[in-house]
Amino acid sequence: MDNAPRPIRFPIELDDALVHIRLLAHQRHGFLVDRRSTRRAMRKVAATQDMVWELLVQLSPTDFHDGPLPDHHCPDREVWIFCPTLNGRRMYLKIAFRRVQESSESALVIWSFHQPRFPMR
């Protein structure tokens, strides 16, 4: 039997991914990666971390932009891109699911939270 690590596979379908994202966001199960661009964006749109979690809880298919895509930080993981509106401004969110160590549970990793740096379709 091959003991090589396997990619963590989560729902491929958008509706299933959204259900999973909303559930984990409602439980605040995960973290927002602390980056200068994230802190700057949060100040610019007057957002708190609680507001970011609530934004994730309210994501809809109309907020979807792309995914799942390979995560360039970790090739065995996938990311989802959403572009919801917060306080009247369109935001760019890159989200991944991460398995919690020693568990079958998952957590959200919000890799990016900022205004789009390029035109979004």
Domains of the chain, start order: 14-114 (3.30.2310.40)
Q: Please give the average per-residue pLDDT across 24-42, as a whole number.
A: 93
pLDDT attached to residue 59: 96
Structure-model confidence comparison of residues 3 and 48, the more confident one: 48
The candidate with the shortest Cα–Cα distance to 15, out of 47, 55, 62, 52, is: 62
**Close Cβ partners of 117 (under 8 Å, ≥ 6 residues apart):** 92
For 36-53, letters b (16+ CB in 10 Å) and e give eebeebbeebebeeeebb
Number of Cβ atoms within 10 Å of the Cβ of 77: 19
Q: What is the pLDDT of residues 83-121, one digit of tens each?
A: 999 999 999 999 998 877 766 678 899 999 999 988 766
pLDDT attached to residue 6: 41
Residue 72: pLDDT over 60 = yes
